[in-house]
Amino acid sequence: MKRAVYLVCILLTVSLVAAMVGWAIAAGALLVPVIAIPLAVVVILACRQQVKGVMSDERAMRIKSKASLRTIEVLLVLGVIGVVVFSSYAFSTPLAPTISGKVTVNDDGTRSLSMAISRGGNTGMPGEVISSITIRNIDAMNETEAAAYAAFWQEGLRQYNESAIVARTILYCLITLIATFGAFYLYYARKY
């Protein structure tokens, strides 16, 4: 078997397994991945044994080592920048959305509530209104108004919350990357 054929075999096997696992999880057949994944590993290893010639040598290993190291360095720098930028959006007060509201007593004695969430910024000017709501009688809020009230908070703070989630996700990825690299570094430092 030629190397190109082997690579096609890997691609087909991985695609098939990915489709099966995806379907199995959606269908709740959790036994399928348990069988399909080890079977795919066996198929790939069997294909690998059929390949004639050298699959990898010291030059390929050195190229992979250098590429991996550069990847880690670039990802770390970009990751730190990403965490700082998204954290700034998520946690800094000047960039946070401004929430304003007032309660008005109506002519019939009921109380109404008007609220608005505006985009944050440090311009000193009132920001663009992201979301606003008026509830005519806050003491007798109906189901529709309650749903609208919940949507008001969700939509108004979506961008703010998403920034926090992105920052946290990148941070966890960086921690995982550093921890994995550190573990392998220690392993190979002891080995050589």
Round to whole Å and give the CA distance between 118 and 154: 13
Q: Does the protein bind other proteins through residue 66 (CB under 8 A)?
A: yes
Contact predicate 110/126, CB 8 Å:
no
- Is 143 a binding residue for other proteins by CB under 8 A? The answer is no
The window from 56-64, 91-99, 161-169, 184-192 that contacts other proteins (CB under 8 A) reads 56-64
Number of residues that bind other proteins (CB under 8 A): 10
Interface residue with other proteins, options 57, 107, 108, 128 (CB under 8 A): 57
Closer to other proteins by Cβ: residue 57 or 108: 57
CA gap 64, 60 in Å, rounded: 6
Judged by CB under 8 A, the residue of 4, 27, 45, 54 near other proteins is 54
Residue of the chain from 4, 27, 49, 59 that contacts other proteins (CB under 8 A): 59
Spatial distance between the Cα atoms of 124 and 189, rounded to a whole number of angstroms = 55
Q: Which two tokens stand for residue 59?
A: 């030059």
Where does this chain touch other proteins (CB under 8 A) — which range of 43-51, 62-70, 104-112, 123-131? Answer: 62-70
> Are β-strands 129-135 and 98-105 bridged in parallel, bridged antiparallel, or unpaired?
unpaired
Q: How far is the CB of 60 from other proteins (least distance, A)?
A: 7
Q: Is 48 in the site for other proteins (CB under 8 A)?
A: no
CA 18 and chain centroid, separation: 20
Structure tokens at 26: 């959606």
The helix-helix angle for 158-191 and 143-156 (nearest 10°) equals: 50
Identify the residue among 11, 34, 42, 60 touching other proteins (CB under 8 A). 60
The arrangement of strands across the sheet holding 129-135 comes to 98-105, 111-118, 129-135
CB under 8 A: which stretch of 27-35, 57-65, 100-108, 159-167 binds other proteins?
57-65
Binding site for other proteins (CB under 8 A): 53-54, 56-60, 62-63, 66
